[in-house]
């Protein structure tokens, strides 16, 4: 007679032990700190912490086994981000407490310097792409999602916010300027900001054709070169071109007047790695929770969201984040 063998459940203590083991190494704690508002590949993390790829892969495996990091494949590369703690599960409270303590630490200066180098490499790759494809920008953009596919959704959210007649708007990365006429009709003054001379020239030509007298164009880096403030800041399919999107959202928050609104339109997370080469994307879309978490860390309050499904399988998210009216401190 064959009796059923009871299934063995792993000892709950093993999960806690794995968490404690993962936290028991200074380098792994610094990796968690570096991933607080960013996502890096194995090679990038090896560069940042100046160790071999195999050594970094081992540390990441330990962190992953403890559910402290989550992975995402982009082509042949695997990118890592911090996993969110689930305080209702075993080890969740310990996980949350660990991240809180880790975030109180400062990364060593040389590590911060190498993170800046990685961000610089990403930014240079993005800027080089746009300098090369300005003349065929719309064709490249339409490979995934062109403005006509999400324009109405952005306008629906924009109009619902009910800006006053004296309100101002700032569009970061306007591309060929296709959305500027919509902003010009809704705001007293509109500023378009881009760090690519070639793309800004396309926007200038459109403004001339449409006689947009209340739109000004500025060649500048939105992350470093401007003291502008606006009631509404718009990023249409731009965030995935920033080297450090979480840091970019912090700077976008600084561009807002108290009570102002940030509208972010971008792709939901996808796995189409060809978009990096064909469209200059640094990121293959974003998880909805990541955008909300980064915006909250930037002092913004998540608002309404709209989602647009496309026939090519991609999905677009249109997100509203607001700077509290009483927040007068520029970070």
Where is 204: in which H helix or E strand? helix 197-210
Prediction pTM value: 0.64
Please state which of the ranges 51-60, 77-86, 128-137, 257-266 shows the lowest mean pLDDT. Answer: 128-137
CA distances from 10 to 16, 62, 91, 93 (A): 11, 18, 14, 20
pLDDT over 80 (residue 105): yes
User: With b meaning 16 or more CB within 10 Å and e meaning fewer, what string describes 241-254?
Assistant: bbbbbbbbbbbbbb
How much of the chain exceeds pLDDT 90, in percent? 48
Please state which of the ranges 66-70, 85-89, 122-126, 215-219 shows the lowest mean pLDDT. Answer: 122-126
- Write down how long the chain is: 331
pLDDT over 70 (residue 75): no
3-state percent helix, strand, coil for the chain, nearest multiple of 5: 45, 20, 35
On whether the CB atoms of residues 156 and 224 are closer than 8 A, the answer is: no
Confidence label for 5 from pLDDT (cuts 50, 70 and 90):
very low
pLDDT over 70 (residue 79): yes
* CB atoms inside a 10 Å sphere around CB 283: 22
φ/ψ (deg, to 5) at 56: -65, -40
Res 131: pLDDT: 57
On whether the CB atoms of residues 263 and 283 are closer than 8 A, the answer is: no
**Helix/strand/coil (H/E/C) assignment for every residue in 221-240:** CCCCCCCCCEEEEEEECCHH
On whether the CB atoms of residues 98 and 66 are closer than 8 A, the answer is: no
Rama region for 67: left / alpha / beta (φ>0; ψ in -120 to 50; rest): left
Res 25: pLDDT: 93
Report the pLDDT averaged over residues 292-303. Answer: 94
Res 6: pLDDT: 44
What is the dihedral sign for C-alpha 176, 312, 242, 128? negative
Helix axes 109-133, 26-34, angle to 10 degrees: 40
Res 216: pLDDT: 96
Confidence label for 51 from pLDDT (cuts 50, 70 and 90):
very high
Please state which of the ranges 14-23, 37-46, 303-312 shows the lowest mean pLDDT. Answer: 303-312
* Residue 302, both tokens: 């998540």
Report the pLDDT averaged over residues 295-307. Answer: 91
Q: Which residues contact 112 (CB under 8 A, 6 or more apart)?
A: none
DSSP string, 291-304: HHHHHHHTT-EEEE
* Residue 266, both tokens: 């971008």
Confidence label for 309 from pLDDT (cuts 50, 70 and 90):
low
- Rounded to an integer, what distance in angstroms lies between the CA atom of residue 149 and that of residue 24? 49
pLDDT over 90 (residue 103): no
Report the pLDDT averaged over residues 69-78. Answer: 73
Res 236: pLDDT: 95
Mean pLDDT, the chain, rounded, equals 84
On whether the CB atoms of residues 192 and 200 are closer than 8 A, the answer is: yes
Q: Which residue has the higher pLDDT, 103 or 50?
A: 50
Domains of the chain by range and CATH? 12-107 (1.10.10.10), 136-322 (3.40.50.150)
pLDDT over 60 (residue 17): yes
- Rounded to an integer, what distance in angstroms lies between the CA atom of residue 168 and that of residue 117? 35
Res 248: pLDDT: 93
Helix axes 26-34, 53-65, angle to 10 degrees: 80
């Amino acid at each position: 007679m064959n009796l059923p063998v009871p299934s063995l459940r792993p000892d709950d203590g093993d999960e806690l032990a794995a968490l404690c083991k993962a936290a028991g190494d200074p380098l792994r704690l610094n990796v968690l700190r570096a991933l607080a508002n960013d996502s890096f590949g194995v090679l990038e993390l090896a560069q940042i912490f100046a160790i071999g790829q195999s050594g970094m892969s081992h540390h990441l495996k330990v962190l992953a086994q403890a559910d402290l990091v989550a992975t995402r494949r982009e082509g042949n590369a695997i990118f890592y981000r911090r996993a969110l703690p689930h305080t209702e599960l075993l080890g969740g409270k310990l996980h949350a407490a660990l991240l809180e303590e880790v975030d109180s630490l400062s990364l060593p200066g040389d590590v911060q310097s190498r993170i800046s180098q990685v961000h610089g490499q990403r930014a240079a790759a993005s800027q080089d792409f746009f300098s090369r494809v300005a003349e065929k920008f719309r064709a490249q953009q339409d490979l995934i999602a062109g403005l006509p596919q999400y324009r109405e959704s952005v306008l629906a959210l924009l109009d619902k916010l009910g800006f006053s007649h004296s309100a101002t708007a700032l569009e970061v990365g306007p591309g060929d300027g296709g959305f500027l006429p919509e902003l010009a009709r809704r705001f007293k003054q509109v500023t378009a900001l881009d760090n690519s001379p070639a793309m800004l020239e396309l926007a200038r030509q459109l403004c001339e054709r449409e006689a947009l007298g209340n739109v000004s164009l500025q060649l500048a880096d939105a992350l470093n070169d401007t003291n502008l403030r606006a009631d509404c800041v718009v990023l249409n399919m731009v965030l995935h071109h920033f080297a450090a999107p979480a840091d970019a959202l912090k700077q976008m928050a600084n561009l807002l007047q108290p009570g102002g609104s940030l509208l972010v339109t971008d792709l939901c997370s996808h796995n189409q790695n060809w978009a990096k080469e064909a469209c200059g994307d640094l990121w293959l879309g974003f998880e909805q929770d990541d955008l909300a978490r980064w915006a909250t860390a930037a002092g913004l309050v998540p608002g309404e969201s709209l989602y647009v499904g496309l026939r090519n399988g991609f999905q677009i998210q249109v997100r509203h984040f607001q700077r509290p009216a009483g927040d007068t401190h520029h970070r």
